[in-house]
A and B are shown apart, each in its own frame.
Chain A
Amino acid sequence: MEIRVENIVKTFQSSEGPVTALDDVSLTVPSRTIMTLLGPSGCGKTTLLRCVAGLETPDSGKITLGHTVVWAKKNGKTTVVTPDKRGLSMVFQTYAIWPHMTVFENVAYPLEAQGMSKAEITSQVAKTLKFVQLEGFERRPVTALSGGQQQRVALARAIAPEPQIILLDEPLSNLDAKLREETRVVLRSSLNKLGVTALYVTHDRLEAFALSDVVVVMKDGKIMQQGSPEDVYFRPNSRFIVDFIGKANFINGSVQEVKKEHILVDTGLGTLLCQFRDDVQPKQRSTVAIRTDFVEVVPKGKENNVAEELTQNLVSGVVERALFLGEYREVNVRVAEETLTFRLHPTISVDEGDQVQLFLNPQGCHFLL
């Protein structure tokens, strides 16, 4: 079942006047797709999710689930379907499992609301608990469960009624790091197996990349970029996205030439081959982002063996600082007037004061508008 959000505006009243939480947001989650809303806190991602759930009332716009308009306000006429009638499921950040009920009662709750028979409920709950690997926990009070188990009860309650749409509001943020990584994998395969349409809110880019078919990055109530995880990672469209998904150095540059697969940009480091974009003109001045992890050290004496078309992006400089951080080595390299930060593979040993030659992969050089 498809989720369609059209022109949603939502403002909150705060002590310092109205705050726009959602600024004319439109998006479509195709049927059986996992979409994540990714962004820093306060970007409006949770508000958007809650609008879809019906827990928050937008100021204007339209929300459609499948073929049913669940919320619309146009010319003073409002259509409202209350959350209990929207037929979707939701996993809450705090889980919101009810402490006065057992695991069974929690998972059975939405089934009872659907008017299922006792026998059906029993078998459906058993099936669902098996799916989330909580067999035998039926009679446990939820207050006696660990955080991870509580999270699985919350998930079980959401999937027990076999919904077509499931909303997830930072469901993993209360788990510790290791458990979060494991659960993320399980969650992805569970959602795929169930074949549901899922809208997933998170501020963690790894979680977003690992889980989703489509990532929507939001900022200040607006959608900044939308695409597959690879799209967003390899083709960031703004300084905000570059900053949010990774680390980069920002330097000034002006377009020299727009080529077929690349653009040539004049910078303080020399002329750089940057990722292609067709919406720029020669002489145009702006910022170039050089990603910290799209760099290779050219081994000494191999300078001439670099493929010819790539000789363009070679820079050399002096290592000012080198930190060993386990997974990678963070180095500051002085190149011409700039100090650039890079992440090198930990096996590449460099020391402060070393002269190095670096190849800046054009894939990691973005001319930003």
Chain B
Amino acid sequence: MDQSKSRLITLILVIIVGALTLGPATMLIIGSFSEGFGAFGTLTFEKYARVYSDPRLYGALRNTLIFTFGSAILATTLAFGLAYLNHRTDVPFRGLLHLIPTIPMMIPHLAYGAAWAILLNPSNGIVNVFLRDVLGLGIINIYSLPGMVFIEGLLELPIAYLVIAPAMASFDATMEEASWICGVSPRKTMRKITLKMLLPAILAALTLATVRSLSAFAIPSVLGFPNRIDVLTTFVYRLVSTGLFPDYGRAAAVGVNVLVSAVILVFVYRHYTATAERFVTIGGKGHKIHRMKLGKMRLPMGILALSLGILLIIVPVIVLAYISVVPYIMPPGPKAFSMLTLANWKAVLSEKITLVAFRNSTFLALVGATVGILLSTVVSYVIVRIRNAGSTVLETLAFASFGFPGLIIGIGFMWALVRTSLYATIWALLVGYVATYLPFGIRPLTSTFIQIDTDLESASLVCGAGLFRTFRRVIAPLALPGIISGWTMMAIMFVQELNLSVILARPGTEVLSVLTHRAVNDAFWGRVATLGVIMIALSAVLLGLTRIFTRKFAS
């Protein structure tokens, strides 16, 4: 590719990606210093002064710290345990255990939280009723900070696992053997060698889980709302959703700090990932992996690990499906089964707004994921293959926005779009989705392109094919599996998207998750369950379709 052409393409991409990521972030900052929404007015610190003198903010801050770190630590601990069992012991059901962390992405966090509220809410939670009325014990109140930490921790487990497991799998067991030979016992070796060498990966997982729970809105919203346990995201949401005059200025003033914290954490994450990779490259392939013999503990540990899968996957799906066909929250039993009804489904499906939301969600998933993955493909290609200042900027932008909290960036988009014709249209959501989820397309595609040998492209160019033909005939087909899986992931994320949608959706542009959120706030559990099942089904259909397509393509 000649210099000027590549420079031009890079420049165009820097402008697009810059507008999508830095744009809303900048508008958020400007907005926080503005007098009013819509007209910026003169520079003012009034919003900061007001919101930072609000004592409720400090309550929310304290809750956020506990919620964020608590769930991140829980997720990382569980992920470490699961990865250790899977990769380093002879635990049974290993094939099944490997699947556990991959499935929960099909379940929207909101629906997941709702399922637990149905089981463990203090008034009529199914499990609580059983504990109180049948066993005569106390109840477990899920509407509490520990409850929120527990559920969010389970939800962050998969992402933490995806960071820790590769490090565990590539761990060179001779590193431990060398320590034993030096006269150090296996137990001490675990502490001095194994844990220390895995520490960067563990810290990377911890940081990533922290970023994600810092941005989390679904769980604090479902489980924190009833007892007014605010974290920063729900605090910000409350500023713009309640009262006669939503205050986007104060929301922005709080949001700026959340955004900055998230971006800092993302760079901390990058630092640990780099260290973890350096630790792996020195090791190289070991003789073979030593699996610790669990002995008598083998079956119990296997069952314990499997139960994580049950908590993560089986419980929410069954609860939601069940609650969608009974008239109100009731324990399963003869009475419930005699009252099975499709009333919830009929009600939900007969409402016009459901069809609007379903159409919007499907549109955003299909079109949004297509636009998103096309942009990601081009950006990743430029990041991997064109090495100039522009591509470094692109890489940094893509990485920094990886930690952007959807709800906060949504506020930024409001400031950016309020005076444009995009405001309150489905396109506003589309732009927001693509911008916020771009890193989730760019990261996997970057590794796809790294794996495609440059010589394959050079060969095509030498054959006389131009740049465009080379891309179409050689690069795109080779990258296709990566592109398809990236598309599927984005489409599923878009079906479930809540954080941005809850800010950007206006009458007529509602999506399924926004309807579910409203139903949660109104405690219409039957509706929540029905919408949850619809979203899970839609995600499953998307996944199934791409699987079929991929298989056909492969054969």
Interface residues of A (CB under 8 A from B): 46, 50, 53-55, 82-90, 92-94, 96-100, 109-110, 113-114, 142-143, 150, 157, 161, 174
Contact = CB atoms under 8 A, between A and B. Distances in A.
A109 B179 contact: yes
A330 B186 CA distance: 54
A143 B282 contact: yes
B184 A142 contact: no
Interface stretch (B32-40, B191-199, B536-544): B191-199
A53 B181 CA distance: 7
A157 B174 contact: no
Contact of A96 (B178, B184, B185): B178
Which of B180, B183, B186 has most A Cβ within 10 Å? B183
A96 B182 CA distance: 12
Contacts, number: 83
Interface stretch (B255-263, B283-291, B396-404): B283-291
B183 A99 contact: no
A110 B179 CA distance: 8
B277 to A, nearest CB: 11
B395 interface: no
Interface in B219-270: none
A87 B177 contact: no
Contacts of A142: 282
Contact of A99 (B179, B278, B286): B278
Given A84-B184, A99-B197, A157-B182, 8 more contacts: A55-B180, A84-B182, A84-B186, A86-B181, A90-B181, A96-B172, A98-B197, A99-B279
A173 to B, nearest CB: 11
Contact of B175 (A46, A83, A86, A96): A96
Contacts of A99: 197, 278-279, 282-283
Nearest to A56: B287
Contacts of A86: 181
10 contacts: A84-B180, A84-B185, A90-B177, A93-B287, A96-B172, A96-B283, A97-B178, A99-B197, A100-B196, A109-B182
Contacts of B186: 82, 84
B178 A92 contact: yes
Contacts of B196: 98, 100
B255 to A, nearest CB: 38
A100 B184 contact: no
Interface in B279-335: 279, 282-287
Contact of A83 (B177, B193, B278, B285): B177
A94 B197 CA distance: 16
Given A99-B278, A142-B282, A92 B183 contact: no
Interface string B138-181: 00000000000000000000000000000000001011011111
A121 B124 CA distance: 66
Which of A82, A83, A88, A142 has most B Cβ within 10 Å? A83
Nearest to B176: A96
6 closest Cβ pairs, A-B complex: A110-B182, A96-B178, A113-B183, A96-B174, A83-B180, A99-B279
A347 B184 CA distance: 58
- How many chain B residues sit at the interface, stated as a range, is 20 to 34
Contacts of A114: 183
Contact of A100 (B179, B183, B279, B285): B279
A94 B172 contact: yes
B232 to A, nearest CB: 35
Given A84-B186, A92-B174, A98 B193 contact: yes
A18 to B, nearest CB: 16
A211 to B, nearest CB: 21
B180 A143 contact: no
A309 B155 CA distance: 89
Which of B174, B175, B178, B282 has most A Cβ within 10 Å? B178
A31 to B, nearest CB: 20
B174 A113 contact: no
Contacts of B182: 84, 89, 109-110, 113, 157, 161
Contacts of A83: 177, 180-181
Nearest to A82: B180
A90 B179 CA distance: 10
Nearest to A109: B182
A150 B172 CA distance: 16
B239 to A, nearest CB: 45
A296 to B, nearest CB: 46
Contacts of A150: 282
A71 B398 CA distance: 57
A53 B196 CA distance: 24
B488 to A, nearest CB: 33
B280 to A, nearest CB: 8
Contacts of B184: 84, 109, 113
B436 to A, nearest CB: 36
A316 to B, nearest CB: 52
Contacts of A94: 172, 174, 283-286
Contacts of B199: 100
Contacts of B178: 90, 92, 96-98, 157
Contacts of A87: 183
A82 B196 CA distance: 23
B191 to A, nearest CB: 13
Nearest to B179: A109
A214 B73 CA distance: 56
B284 A88 contact: no
B181 A89 contact: yes
Nearest to A142: B282
B172 to A, nearest CB: 6
Given A94-B285, A98-B193, A55 B177 contact: yes
Nearest to B290: A55
A161 B175 CA distance: 18
Given A109-B184, A113-B182, A142-B282, A92 B197 contact: no
A118 to B, nearest CB: 17
A96 to B, nearest CB: 4
A54 B181 CA distance: 9
A93 B284 CA distance: 10
Contact of B287 (A46, A85, A88, A161): A46
Contact of A88 (B175, B181, B279, B285): B181
Nearest to B282: A99
A85 B175 CA distance: 17
